[in-house]
Amino acid sequence: MQNELIYISRQFANMFGFPVRLYNGNELVFFHSTANLITDPIALCYNDICKKNEQISYYVYENSFYYGIVNCGQYKFITGPVSEIRLSDHEFSRLGFLLGVRNDDIPVFVSAMKSLSGIHLDTLIQAIILYNFSVNRTMYNISDIRIKISEQNSLSADIKENEISDSNERLFMNNARSYAIEKDMIKKVMNGDVEGLIDGATKIPSVSSGNLAPHMLRHNKNFFIKLETIMARAAIEAGLDVDEVFSIEEMYIRKCESLNNVDRIKNLQYHMIIDYADRVKKLRQYNGQNSKLVTEISRYIRNHISEAIKTSDIADYFKKSRGGITTEFKKQTGMNLSDFIKLKKIQEAQELLYETSKSLVMISDYLGFSSQSHFTKVFKEITGITPKEYRENNYKRF
């Protein structure tokens, strides 16, 4: 039976272009990928996928990738990762970093990941339905995997039962006040008004959070996610790069989900709002004319964040002379291009210090610094504190 499953798995991989694995219990007996993956991304979520015991199912990793799963007796077939959205080089680069890919091999890893097929989740489910029929001889439809009629009926009944019917004037006055405060925060974030948000910090807890969950901790997490989404969209409207904002958004949500204390969530909430405003403020400082060049340079740095970026690299990419592009950048922003590169790398370092437990040496190496001491020096130059102090301070706070 194992040889037959390997044969079908190989044909599946060649037909659809997805990496496939076949496990006998916990032993990997077959792996095949049309892309030359240095490290298998499944390492980041294998334990969670193994908990999927349904005959056919799927798993979503960090809202970015899908894996399809088929169980056949003692064998488990897993295919993926695939994504229905086009991920950036920066996202693939960070994935490689989390997997422990050597810094020199990051570009190769990114290239391989980009070569994988990009498909909608429903297409992946159709593919594993076909695989399942080949090995288990059972017939499923997409609705069997994605949509449960009984669950839909139950949800309809629950929602109808819990529809808000309270017309209490005090409730609506509170909601109107909260909406006004929310609009004020959005305005301040879009204007990069860090000082105004700090001055009005006492207003933030006054935003009505409704009743988002039956338990206090989950309620506060849900409210954080709701508010984070609003602030992220405000930052995008203010001109921050979409890929950058989505990455920051995912980082904050993961951080929130890792917390088990309401006070820490409230502190993270405040920090998140100030962080978005501060990024918009810096954008306005360095890109006051909404310069297309500055926006494109920012995107280039983000997509090459793990490299030791030089101003000459950027000049070559944009087919300009080094002197010409540095002069133009300084004229538009008032900042040296080399300092802007440092700023973007340190912003990335701050995110990694937040959301990972990777050592300072590994983060320094990933970001292309010549040494940890150089990384620490630049970090302190930008933030006023060392990377170690930054991580310790934010650990205590959040």
**Collapsed DSSP state (helix, strand, coil) of residue 2:** helix
**What are the structure tokens assigned to 7, written together?**
């044969």
User: Other C-beta atoms within 10 Å of 220: how many?
Assistant: 23
∠ Cα 227 231 235 (to 5°): 170
Residue with tokens 């203010």: 238
Contact 19, 81 (CB under 8 A): yes
Q: CATH topology for 2-150? A: Beta-Lactamase (3.30.450)
Query: What whole-number distance in Å separates Cα of residue 379 and Cα of residue 373?
Result: 10
Give the pLDDT of residue 166.
47
> Of 245, 206, 212, nearest to 229 (Cα)?
245
Give the per-residue pLDDT at 171. 43
Question: Can you give the pLDDT at residue 234?
Answer: 87
d(CA 199, CA 307) in angstroms, rounded, equals 39
Class of domain 287-398: mainly alpha
pLDDT computed for residue 235 by the predictor: 87
Q: Domain extents for the chain? A: 2-150, 166-250+267-285, 287-398
Strand partners, 173: none
* Phi, psi dihedral angles at 285 (to 5 degrees): -65, -45
- Contact predicate 375/369, CB 8 Å: yes
Cis link prior to 19 (omega < 30° from 0)? no
Distance separating alpha carbons of residues 350 and 29, to the nearest angstrom: 40
Q: Within the chain, which residues score under 70 in pLDDT? A: 63, 117, 147-181, 197-214, 286-290, 395-398
> Which residues have a Cβ under 8 Å from the Cβ of 381 and sit 6 or more positions away?
342
pLDDT at 206: 47
Instruction: With beta carbons less than 8 A apart as the criterion, state whether 67 and 78 touch.
Output: yes
Residue 184 makes CB contacts below 8 A (sequence gap 6+) with 200, 203
